[in-house]
């Protein structure tokens, strides 16, 4: 007896359309991009001069340090971890830089010492998390208190940076076009984002980071260096915090113990708004960049408005954060 198979029906218009609809893997990032464009459009329509090229450049200039900080946080969150110490490490970096420059150290040596110290702190946190099986929340909270305490050991007062090299670098403007310029900090931030993008998407380390977030057991079965990578992401976070601290000291030309209080929450918010799952295994460093720019646009709109308190930034960011967490929950539930 011969069974006749039914003819294959042609693709419906809905099926053909589905080919061009982005997968849920990119949905949250696209939502962030649409939100950024919409917010900028509202600001452009409401405020005169909002859409100028220099305003766009200022988003990068004013948030270069936060972009670098969000890059390091992206690595950590992709593995399913968290780093609450980054804000305090930024403050420690500014205090170390300012105090060493005040004592007459060479600027290059100061930068090296700061980056080695912050990377070493990240290494210590990673080792504690792995070998003592401590939750990242607790370990990084302890590191936050340690770093903030070391700031007060260095000095209780603000330390001004008067080193000619740092002052010159802070005042440097790189022209891009007529009445359009950026600072060296922006170039450093863009380079950090580019390197992170390459590492996450084109190296074994990046594949391991995503595999750990998806599930440590499968990563072990695949023969990936899980332990080394788990520790490495905290070293990367500490290193990025050191760079962010140097950029922030250029931005303010000072070091202060109370600098960057709550900045770790800004970094986490930027990463989550950028589409990275807090449970790990899913996200993009370019999404974190978009998340930082969203925060920057919110601050710019409030600045242009003039009559709103700066606390409205926190209120709006809190609402967006809740919205994106709900969106992530819906996306992961649909994938299951």
pLDDT in tens, 51-86: 888 999 999 999 999 999 999 999 999 999 999 999
Two structure tokens written together for 208: 């391991």
Among the ranges given (201-210, 215-224, 227-236, 291-300), the one the predictor scored with the smallest mean pLDDT: 215-224
- pTM score of the predicted model: 0.89
Q: Is the pLDDT score of 197 beyond 50?
A: yes
Q: What is the mean pLDDT of residues 205-222?
A: 80
How many residues comprise the chain? 336
Tell me what pLDDT residue 24 has.
Answer: 55
Q: Could you tell me if 200 and 206 are in contact, meaning their C-beta atoms sit under 8 angstroms apart?
A: yes
On the CB side of 57, CA atoms within 13 Å amount to 17
Neighbour count for residue 127 (Cβ, 10 Å):
15
Residue 6 maps to a domain = no
Tell me what pLDDT residue 320 has.
Answer: 80
Q: Is the pLDDT score of 22 beyond 50?
A: no
Residue 136 maps to a domain = yes
Residue 95 maps to a domain = yes
pLDDT band for 13, please (50, 70, 90 cuts): very low
Among the ranges given (20-34, 127-141, 153-167, 194-208), the one the predictor scored with the smallest mean pLDDT: 20-34
CA angle (27 as vertex; 22, 31 as ends), nearest 5: 120
Q: Could you tell me if 288 and 32 are in contact, meaning their C-beta atoms sit under 8 angstroms apart?
A: no
Higher pLDDT, 335 or 118: 118
Residue 14 maps to a domain = no
Tell me what pLDDT residue 325 has.
Answer: 77
Average pLDDT, the chain: 87
Tell me what pLDDT residue 308 has.
Answer: 66
Residue 170 maps to a domain = yes
Two structure tokens written together for 90: 């930024």
Residue 21 maps to a domain = no
Residue whose C-alpha is closest to residue 188's, from 251, 114, 270: 251
| H or E stretch covering 303 | helix 285-305
Tell me what pLDDT residue 191 has.
Answer: 97
Q: Give all strands (DSSP E) within the chain, no chain letters.
A: 159-160, 174-177, 180-182, 254-255
Q: In total, how many domains does the chain have?
A: 1
Residue 219 maps to a domain = yes
Q: What is the mean pLDDT of residues 286-314?
A: 84
Tell me what pLDDT residue 301 has.
Answer: 87
- Chain center to CA of 328: 18
Residue 21 exposed, middle or buried by CB count within 10 Å (0-12, 13-18, 19+): exposed
CA angle (203 as vertex; 199, 205 as ends), nearest 5: 80
Q: What is the mean pLDDT of residues 259-279?
A: 91
Domain of residue 175, CATH code: 1.10.3470
What domain range includes position 126? 26-42+49-335
Residue 1 maps to a domain = no
Q: Is the pLDDT score of 90 beyond 60?
A: yes
Question: DSSP string of 231-276?
Answer: HHHHHHHHHHHHHHHHHHHHHHSEE-TTTTTTHHHHHHHHHHHTT-
Q: Is the pLDDT score of 310 beyond 50?
A: yes
Q: Is the pLDDT score of 148 beyond 80?
A: yes
Q: Is the pLDDT score of 26 beyond 80?
A: no
- Distance (Å, whole) CA 183 – CA 172: 6
Neighbour count for residue 274 (Cβ, 10 Å):
26
Q: Is the pLDDT score of 15 beyond 50?
A: no
Buried b (16+ CB within 10 A) or exposed e, 297-310: bbbbbbeeeeeeee
Q: Specify which residues 177 forms β-bridges with.
A: 180
């Amino acid at each position: 007896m011969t069974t006749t198979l039914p003819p294959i029906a042609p693709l419906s218009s809905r099926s053909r359309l589905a080919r061009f609809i982005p997968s849920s893997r990119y949905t949250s990032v696209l939502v962030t991009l649409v939100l950024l464009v919409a917010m900028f459009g509202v600001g452009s329509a409401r405020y005169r001069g909002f859409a100028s090229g220099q305003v766009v450049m200022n988003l990068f200039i004013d948030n270069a340090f936060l972009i670098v900080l969000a890059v390091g946080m992206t690595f950590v969150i992709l593995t399913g971890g968290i780093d609450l110490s980054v804000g305090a490490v930024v403050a420690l970096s500014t205090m170390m830089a300012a105090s060493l420059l005040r004592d007459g150290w060479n600027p290059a040596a100061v930068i090296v010492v700061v980056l080695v110290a912050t990377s070493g702190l990240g290494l210590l946190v990673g080792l504690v998390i792995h070998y003592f099986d401590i939750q990242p929340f607790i370990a990084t909270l302890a590191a936050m208190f340690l770093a903030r305490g070391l700031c007060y050991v260095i000095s209780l007062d603000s330390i001004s940076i008067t080193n000619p090299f740092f002052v010159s670098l802070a005042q440097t403007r790189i022209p891009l076009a007529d009445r359009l310029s950026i600072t060296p900090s922006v170039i450093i931030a863009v380079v950090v984002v580019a390197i992170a993008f390459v590492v996450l998407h084109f190296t074994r380390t990046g594949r391991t980071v995503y595999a750990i977030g998806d599930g440590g057991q499968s990563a072990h079965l695949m023969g990936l260096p899980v332990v080394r990578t788990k520790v490495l992401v905290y070293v990367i976070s500490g290193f990025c915090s050191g760079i962010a601290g140097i950029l922030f000291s250029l931005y303010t030309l000072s070091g202060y113990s109370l600098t960057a209080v709550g900045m770790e929450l800004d970094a986490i918010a930027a990463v989550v708004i950028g589409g990275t799952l807090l449970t790990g295994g899913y996200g993009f460093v370019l999404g974190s960049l978009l998340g930082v720019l969203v925060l920057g646009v919110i601050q710019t709109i409030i600045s242009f408005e003039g009559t709103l308190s700066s606390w409205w930034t926190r209120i709006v960011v809190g609402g967006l954060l809740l919205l994106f967490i709900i969106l992530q929950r819906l996306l992961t539930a649909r994938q299951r």
